[in-house]
């Protein structure tokens, strides 16, 4: 943009400072409190890791973390496989209809709560007992959409003639996929998988509705929700800090592999 007066420039910097303060102060307070001996926001009583230690001894949280990991790993694996194949299928045949496009994008647009109640109604109508497996089935639905769109973006610049060349040279479809197509799109596949994993780790509403009764299928976000509703314990600060660190690391990695929507 054009050159600006010093007053304008100062105003712009002030706006940036205020917005970043607004975005980061709540998170910073949370992280700081997780290291506070007393744990309550009332006063700083010294640095301590005791809330992290007590997390490590909280069996409810550990089992919720394990459930989350199972759900995220399994649903990511299924979604990455199916989503990648879907992306290749769609991009190879360019003459797909609007209906297919809508079907693929729909899970990213439908409000969580609507998909959640739809799945709850569906599972109970077909008398499927709910638990971790139903959460996995549900998570694949939206993970699939995200993996597919990340991989498709990469395939837009894919040179299909190398696939033809491989076939001409006598490679089977599987060999072509494994040795030609996959290596080219691998960064996008990994980026999509990381995105799916993070979304699954963080997802709350759909898991909440499709988990069924009983504590056995409680995931970490469900556990966090319950902890917040039942009253604030300083343990949440430590848990929040860890979950935040994991999500942000995974997504930063995903962005890098995908050469970012941001930063281009």
Tell the smallest beta-carbon distance from residue 7 to another protein (Å): 11
The answer to whether the CB of 147 falls within 8 A of the CB of 195 is yes
**Cβ of residue 244: shortest distance to another protein, in angstroms?**
4
153-172 footprint of another protein as x/- string (CB under 8 A):
--------------------
CA distance 145 to 27: 29
With beta carbons less than 8 A apart as the criterion, state whether 96 and 35 touch. no
- Interacting residue with another protein among 71, 135, 144, 191 (CB under 8 A): 144
Q: What is the residue-wise DSSP string for 85-143? A: HHHHHHHHS----HHHHHHHHHHHHS-HHHHHHHHHHHHHHTTPPPSHHHHHHHHHHHH
Q: Is 191 in the site for another protein (CB under 8 A)?
A: no
Cα Rg of the chain (Å, integer): 23
- Nearest approach in angstroms of CB 168 to another protein is 23
Indicate whether 16 belongs to the interface with another protein (CB under 8 A). Answer: yes
CB of 39 to another protein, least distance (A): 11
Binding mask 22-51 for another protein (x = CB under 8 A): xxxxxx-xx--x------xxx---------
What does residue 6 show for φ and ψ, rounded to 5 degrees? -55, -35
The answer to the question of residue 82 lying near another protein (CB under 8 A) is yes
Q: Which of 146, 152, 71, 64 is nearest to 109 (CA)?
A: 146
Among 57, 95, 98, 125, binds another protein (CB under 8 A): 125
CA distances from 142 to 116, 136, 171 (A): 11, 11, 34
Helices and strands (DSSP H and E) totals, the chain: 12, 0
Which position among 52, 70, 107, 187 is part of the footprint of another protein (CB under 8 A)?
Answer: 107
Q: Please, what sign has the CA dihedral across residues 179, 81, 147, 70?
A: negative
Alpha-carbon gap, residue 184 to 174, rounded angstroms: 15
- Segment contacting another protein (CB under 8 A): 49-57, 117-125, 170-178, 185-193? 117-125
Stretch touching another protein by CB under 8 A, among 50-58, 78-86, 164-172, 176-184: 78-86
Q: Is residue 140 a contact point for another protein (CB under 8 A)?
A: yes
Q: How far is the CB of 5 from another protein (least distance, A)?
A: 9
State which of residues 62, 167, 171, 251 lies at the interface with another protein (CB under 8 A). Answer: 251
How many residues interact with another protein (rule CB under 8 A)?
76
Residue selected from 55, 132, 135, 137 as contacting another protein according to rule CB under 8 A: 137
């Amino acid at each position: 943009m054009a050159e600006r007066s010093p007053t304008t420039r100062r105003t712009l910097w002030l706006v940036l400072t205020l917005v970043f303060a607004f975005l980061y102060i709540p998170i910073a307070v949370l992280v700081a409190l997780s290291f506070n001996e007393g744990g309550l926001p009332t006063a700083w009583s010294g640095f301590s890791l005791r809330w992290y230690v007590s997390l490590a001894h909280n069996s409810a949280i550990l089992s919720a973390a394990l459930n989350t990991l199972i759900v995220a790993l399994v649903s990511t694996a299924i979604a990455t496989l199916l989503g990648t194949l879907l992306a290749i299928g769609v991009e190879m045949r360019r003459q797909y209809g609007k209906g297919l496009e809508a079907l693929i994008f729909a899970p990213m647009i439908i409000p969580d709560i609507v998909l959640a109640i739809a799945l709850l109604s569906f599972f109970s109508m077909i008398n499927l007992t709910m638990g971790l497996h139903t959460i996995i089935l549900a998570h694949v639905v939206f993970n699939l959409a995200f993996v597919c769109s990340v991989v498709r973006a990469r395939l837009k610049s894919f040179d299909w003639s190398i696939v033809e060349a491989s076939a001409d040279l006598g490679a089977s479809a599987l060999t072509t996929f494994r040795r030609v197509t996959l290596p080219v799109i691998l960064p996008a596949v990994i980026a999509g998988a990381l995105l799916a994993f993070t979304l699954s780790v963080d997802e709350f509403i759909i898991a909440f509705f499709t988990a069924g009764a009983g504590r056995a299928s409680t995931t970490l976000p469900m556990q966090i929700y319950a902890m917040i509703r039942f009253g604030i314990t300083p343990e949440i600060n430590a848990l929040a800090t860890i979950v935040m660190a994991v999500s942000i690391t995974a997504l930063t990695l995903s962005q890098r592999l995908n050469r970012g929507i941001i930063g281009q």
